[in-house]
A and B are shown apart, each in its own frame.
Chain A
Amino acid sequence: MIEVNKIYHSFEIGKKEKKTVIPVLKDVSFQINKGEIVSIVGKSGSGKSTLLNIISGFIKPTDGEVKINNQTVTELSEGEFASFRLQHIGFIFQNFQLIPSMTAFQNVELPLTFKGMNEKERKQKTLETLERVGLAEFKDHYPSELSGGQQQRVSIARALVVNPPLILADEPTGSLDSDTEKSLLAFIKQLNEELGITFLIITHDEEVAEFGHRTIEIVDGHVLEEVGK
C-alpha cells in the first residue's frame, strides 16, 4: 500500500546569511501493507508529522520517494497530488479541520463536490456516510454546535465519503477525552475490519499504539521498526 524509500528531509529557517538547516528525517524507509493499522510513535519533535505530511503531499521531501498504490506520489505536481488525495487518501486531523461556516452535511459533502459527482448521488452518499458515523440527526449542525467527539466523527465521515483505501491520521485522539478516544479507536478498528481500509496513525499515546497491528518508532529522524503484537 505505502512504500517509503530513503526519505531525507531538512527544514531551512532564517534568511540568507543567518540561514540554518535543521535535518529532521534521515534515510527513512518502511512499507505498509494493505489492510494494516500502523501506528507511528516517537518523542515530540522527532519528525512524525513531517513524515506524514510528506506522505500526504503537503511537504516535498529533500530526497527519497514515496509510493502509494504503486504510484510514485513524490513525483506528482501539486495539482496532480491534490487529485490523487481526492481519490485515494482520507484524512483525520488532530483538531478536526472542519470548515466552520459549513454544516456537518456540507463538510462531508465537500469532497464529493470536488469530484464533480451529481447532486442527487452526492446527497445520498453524504447521508449514508453520516449515518455510518452515527450523526445523521446532527447533519445541519455547524461544527461549533458539536462536541469534540462529534466533530471528529464528522471529519471521519468526510474522510470516508469518497471510499478511500487509505486513511492518514495525525494524533486523531489528541483533542479528545479518554472515553471518546476509546470509542473512536473502536470505530477505526471496525472500519478496518469491515471495509479493509489501511490506517497510518501518528500518536504518542501508549493505548493508541498498542491497538494497531504494528508500530513504527521514529527516533532522531531514523526508523526503529517494531514488529507487531
Chain B
Amino acid sequence: MTFKDQFKFVRQNLKKNKSRLFMTVLATAIGVAFLIVLASVGFGLHKSLISDMMQNQLVTQVEIYGKEDSQGLKNEDITYFEEMDGVEAVTRRNELAQMPFFQLDDYTSNTNAIVTHFPSEIKADFKLASGRLPEGENEVVVGYHFTESLIKNGANPEKLYDDEGNINEDYVYTDDLLNKEMDMEVIKLTDGKETKKTISVKIVGIAEKPARDWAYEEHVFISEEILQEVEQFTGVMRGASEMYEGGELDANQSEEVYDYVKVYANNVQEVEGINKALEDKGYMIYSIANEMKQINVIFLIMKIGLIFIGTIALIIASIGIYNTMTMAVTERAPDIGIMKAIGAHPRTIKNIFLLESTYIGLLGAIFGTIVAYGISFLVNLCVPFIIQTAFDEAAPEGFLLSYIPWSLTLISVGICLLVTVFSGLRPAKRATKVDVLKAMRREL
C-alpha cells in the first residue's frame, strides 16, 4: 500500500468521528501551545536581557584593569594590545584625581577632568559634535552633556531641580560653549589648609552625543600638560589634593602608566579570542562577552527546565491520543480482521494507525503553534501596558516577555510528534494483533 493511499485511508477514517478527532487535536494543541508559550518566556527574557546588555555596554569592548605582578599598564602593554589579532583600537585614559571646578562666566561645573589619547579614541569611534580636537595645551574638549553640569552661581540649592528631577530652567546654561574661556580651579590640602590654583582653558570641541541613551558624559578632556601642571602644584600622583601613601610623584618613574585601558575588537566574533589571549597573558579583564557566556548557560538551563515542564502537558495530551487510538482500534477491529483476511500485511495495518496518531499530533502541533504565536503576541502587547499601570514606569525599550524563535517551534513540534507517535505505538501494535477469525465472527 503506497503512502499516499495510506494517508487517504487515514483521512477517511478520521472523518468518521469528527468530534473525537476535534477533542483529541484540541488537547494536543493546548499541550503544544502551553509548551511553546511557557518556554517562550525563557527565550523572551534571555533575548531582552542580552539585547539590553548589548545596548548598555559595547560587546566588542574589553576593559583591562591591570596585569598580575605588574605596576599598571605601560606603553609596551598598549603596543602589545594594538598588535593583537582582531583588535580595532586601544583607548587609554587617565583621570585627574580630584574634581576641579570649571568657571564659565556666571556658571560653575564640578566635573571630572580626563586625559586621553585622541587618535585611538577616534579609531574607537569617538566623534565631535562640533569644533575641533585640541592642539594647544590649554585647549579642551567637553563631553556632550557638559552644559547640563553648568549651574548658575548663587542658585538656590532647594530649587535646583524640579519635581521631575530636571534642572530648573532658570539655572541652565544656554549659550554656545565653543571657543569659550573657562577657569579650571584645583585645590591642594596641606595639614587641613586649602590652597587654590586656577588654570585658564579654552573649549575648542564638543563630543558627540553618546550612542547609548543612558550614557551621560559631562567630563572635560584636558591635555597631558595641564595634568602635569596640577601634579606639580599638589605634588601628588594624578594631581590628588592630599598626599597619600605611595602617592609621591616619582621622579624615576619616567614611563607612562594608564588608568583606564579599553580594547575594542573588530567584531563580536573576535572578542572571545582576544579575551582568552589576554587572560592567558595574565591581564585582568572585564568583558561583557564573558558575562554573557555565563548568562547564556543559566538561561539554557532555564529553557530546558521550562521545555521539560511543558512536555508534561504534552504527555497528558498524549494520553488522550492513546485513548482515541485504542478506541479506534477496538471500533475498527472487524474491519481490521477483514483487511487482514484479504491480504493486508500487519505492517500496513500498523503504519495506518501510526500515521493516524501522527496526523492527529501534527494537526495539534500546527494549531498549537498558531495559538502560541497569537498568545505570545498578545502577551508582548499587554505586558508593557501592565508594567505601565502597575509600576507607573515604562517597560524597557524592546522588552519581550515572550519570544518564540524558530528553534523553539521546531523543538516543540518535534517533541509533540515524538510523544504522539510514541502514544500511538501500542494501539497500532494491538491493531496488528487482531485475530482474523474472531473479528469476522464479530467477537471483538
Contact = CB atoms under 8 A, between A and B. Distances in A.
A101 interface: yes
Interface stretch (A14-22, A79-87, A217-225): A79-87
A201 B443 CA distance: 24
B342 A86 contact: yes
B1 A97 contact: no
Nearest to B437: A58
B346 interface: yes
A61 interface: no
A99 interface: yes
B345 A79 contact: yes
B347 interface: yes
B440 A93 contact: yes
Secondary structure at the A interface, as helix, strand, loop or mixed, is helix
Given A85-B342, A158-B342, A58 B347 contact: no
A113 B1 CA distance: 6
Given A58-B437, A82-B344, A82-B345, A113 B335 contact: no
Nearest to A164: B343
Interface string B1-29: 11001000100000010000000000000
Interface in A142-168: 158-159, 162
A89 to B, nearest CB: 8
A56 B340 CA distance: 11
A101 B343 contact: no
Nearest to B338: A97
B328 to A, nearest CB: 12
A56 B438 CA distance: 15
Secondary structure at the B interface, as helix, strand, loop or mixed, is helix
B343 A86 contact: yes
A105 B5 CA distance: 15
Contacts of B345: 79, 82-83, 86, 114
Interface in A82-116: 82-87, 89, 91, 93, 97-99, 101, 110-111, 113-116
Interface centre among A56, A58, A59, A98 (most CB of B within 10 A): A58
Give chain B's interface residue range (CB within 8 Å of chain A). Answer: 20 to 34
Interface string B333-357: 0010011111111111000000000
A97 B333 CA distance: 12
B160 interface: no
A53 interface: yes
B167 interface: no
Contacts of A159: 342
Nearest to A122: B5
B436 interface: yes
Contacts of B344: 82, 86, 114
Contact of B1 (A91, A98, A116, A162): A116
B437 A111 contact: no
A89 B342 CA distance: 8
Contact of A79 (B335, B341, B347, B437): B347
B64 to A, nearest CB: 71
B436 A58 contact: yes
A115 B437 CA distance: 22
A89 B348 CA distance: 19
Contacts of A56: 341
Interface in A114-148: 114-116, 119
A97 B440 contact: yes
Given A58-B436, A58-B437, A116-B1, A78 B346 contact: yes
B167 to A, nearest CB: 82
Given A59-B437, A93-B440, A99 B338 contact: yes
Contacts of B340: 82
B4 to A, nearest CB: 8
Contacts of A79: 345-347
A97 B341 contact: yes
Contacts of B1: 113-116
A101 to B, nearest CB: 6
Nearest to B13: A101
30 contacts: A53-B437, A56-B341, A58-B436, A58-B437, A78-B346, A79-B346, A82-B343, A83-B343, A85-B341, A85-B342, A85-B343, A86-B342, A87-B343, A89-B343, A91-B341, A97-B338, A99-B335, A99-B338, A99-B339, A101-B16, A101-B335, A113-B1, A113-B9, A114-B1, A114-B343, A115-B1, A116-B2, A119-B5, A159-B342, A162-B343
Interface of B: 1-2, 5, 9, 16, 335, 338-348, 436-437, 440
Q: What 4 pairs across the A-B complex have the smallest Cβ distances? A: A86-B343, A85-B343, A58-B436, A99-B335
Given A110-B339, A159-B342, 13 more contacts: A58-B436, A78-B346, A79-B345, A86-B342, A89-B343, A91-B342, A110-B342, A111-B343, A114-B345, A114-B348, A116-B1, A116-B2, A116-B5
Interface of A: 53, 56, 58-59, 78-79, 82-87, 89, 91, 93, 97-99, 101, 110-111, 113-116, 119, 158-159, 162
